[in-house]
Amino acid sequence: MCSTAPLTAMIGPSVLNADLSDLANESQRLLDSGADYLHLDVMDGHFVPNITFGHPVVACLRNKVVGTMLDMHMMVAKPGQWVEPMAGAGADQFTFHIEATEEPGVLCRKIKEAGMKVGVGVKPGTKVETVVEWCDQGLVDMVLVMTVEPGFGGQKFMTDMMPKVRLMRDKYPLLNIQVDGGVGPSTIDMCAQAGANMIVSGTAVVKAEDPGKVMTSLREAVAKCL
């Protein structure tokens, strides 16, 4: 078992969908609206075609949102090289993609030794069983099941990813399981019923007229299934 703590429903807006020229204020707006954590998408132009931001931006944001969980989604080709910089910037959780390393166990240990929680992500085309070995060793705090192809926003939610979530929830009742991609009011029930408890939502929350209302509805949908 990876954890003995009870599961909670957590909603993490993806700040990439916010006004990045005003990132601190946008982040605070989302936190004031009820966000449980902030999801930061780091893209390097190699693992995925797009480029976003890196640890210098995270360090600046850390100083503005003290005490907030910063969940780093590292869509990068060489995640190991960014562990220390992200830890130094104040990141709380470092989620790498299983496809980006040949030594997941070594990387998990490196992240833990740097003082961060370990997240492991799987792309739509990757079997979620690839993370089981590391979960069984107690090295993983969260598994991220991508419900779109990483690297681009605005994609349609992939309902056929839900069996991955269900498999992991059945195997690990107390593991944090995150879904990311196309998640909003119209898809949250599928995620919740499959067993996800950490919800990343971009446009559906960040661009909403009332982000707090949307996050409350997402959280309640998840809580009913825990």
Q: Give the tens place of pLDDT for each residue, 62-77.
A: 999 999 999 999 999 9
Give the integer Cα–Cα distance in Å for 187 and 168.
19
Give the integer Cα–Cα distance in Å for 72 and 97.
11
Among 44, 71, 92, 180, the one annotated catalytic = 180
Give the integer Cα–Cα distance in Å for 96 and 80.
9
The pTM (predicted TM-score) of the whole model is 0.96
Place of tokens 């693992």: 47
Q: Give the tens place of pLDDT for each residue, 146-201.
A: 999 998 766 899 999 999 999 999 999 999 999 999 999 999 999 999 999 999 99
- Other CB atoms within a 10 A radius of the CB of residue 181 amount to 25
Among 41, 44, 71, 92, the one annotated catalytic = 41
Check if 180 is active-site: yes
Between the alpha carbon of residue 107 and those of residues 110, 159, 201, the distances in Å are 5, 30, 27
Type of residue at 7:
L
Report the pLDDT value the prediction gives residue 153, as an integer from 0 to 100. 67
Concatenated DSSP letters of 1-49: ----SPP--EEEEBGGGS-GGGHHHHHHHHHHTT-SSEEEEEEBSSSSS
Check if 41 is active-site: yes
